[in-house]
Structure 1
């Protein structure tokens, strides 16, 4: 049997997931977690801290530290919700939108280059397989934890 964990380890390294910073955009060094946060805030409409935290599968405490760092960098704004002042709504600043768009462009260029080494059938097979794997992972009772922890 093939070493499945080994395949994921190699893919993780090649994607740069182990790097401290995943990208540089607009003069900012952005961590992988921060990149995911910017993506989610950009993707959702006026999301709350809780909504983005849940979408990323992170606890709110850890997430709040990351949000504070992004606010300090002037990439994210946090304001009370107009209907429920206890809820904090997140949005990207103009600079945050630029950084998110730059990262998105960089990632799409990288993926286009990777897929350029495959024919259409291979590309579709990989994408279909990733969707299948994501669906199976969503059904797993062990989601987001290590098998021991």
Structure 2
């Protein structure tokens, strides 16, 4: 059997997850975590800071620093919730939506190219395998955030 960790190490590198910046849109450099935050804000309907932090399994302090950076970059807007001013609701600015769309299109182009290297059976097998892996990972009692 192949070394499972090695497979994930190589996959991580090929996806560019170790790069300081995952993508550049014009003069804007976006880190991998910022890309994930933007994706989740776009995906969820009027999410709170805590909801996105929980989704990404980030502690709120680290998450808050990332949000401050995205606000300064004018990609994210933070608004107090109407029902509880202590809760901040996140949304993308017009520029943030453009960045989200650009990253999405870029990732889809990359994945389309990767999957075009496979036949239909292989594509379906990989997608099904990834779905199974995600499901199994969600059931695991061992959290990877404590591992090296």
TM-score bracket, shorter-length normalisation: over 0.9
Name the structure 2 match of 1:136.
136
Name the structure 1 match of 2:31.
31
Output the CA distance in 2 between the equivalents of 1:43 and 1:142.
Answer: 27
1:32, CA displacement in angstroms?
A: 0.1
Seen in structure 2, the aligned counterparts of structure 1 residues 147 and 94 have a Cα distance that, compared at 3 Å, is closer
Output the CA distance in 1 between the equivalents of 2:83 and 2:119.
Answer: 51
Unaligned runs of 5+ in 1: none
Name the structure 2 match of 1:21.
21
Output the CA distance in 1 between the equivalents of 2:38 and 2:103.
Answer: 9
Name the structure 2 match of 1:60.
60
Name the structure 2 match of 1:81.
81
Output the CA distance in 1 between the equivalents of 2:25 and 2:43.
Answer: 18
Q: Where does structure 1 differ by over 6 angstroms across 4 or more consecutive aligned residues?
A: none
Name the structure 2 match of 1:121.
121
After TM superposition, the score normalised by the length of structure 2 is: 0.97
Output the CA distance in 2 between the equivalents of 1:147 and 1:20.
Answer: 20
Unaligned runs of 5+ in 2: none
3-state SS, counterpart of residue 6 of structure 1: helix
1:55, CA displacement in angstroms?
A: 0.6
1:86, CA displacement in angstroms?
A: 1.2
1:147, CA displacement in angstroms?
A: 4.4
Question: Which has the bigger relative contact order, CA under 8 A and spacing at least 6?
Answer: 1
Name the structure 2 match of 1:5.
5
Name the structure 2 match of 1:101.
101
Q: What is the count of residue pairs matched by the alignment?
A: 148
Name the structure 1 match of 2:90.
90
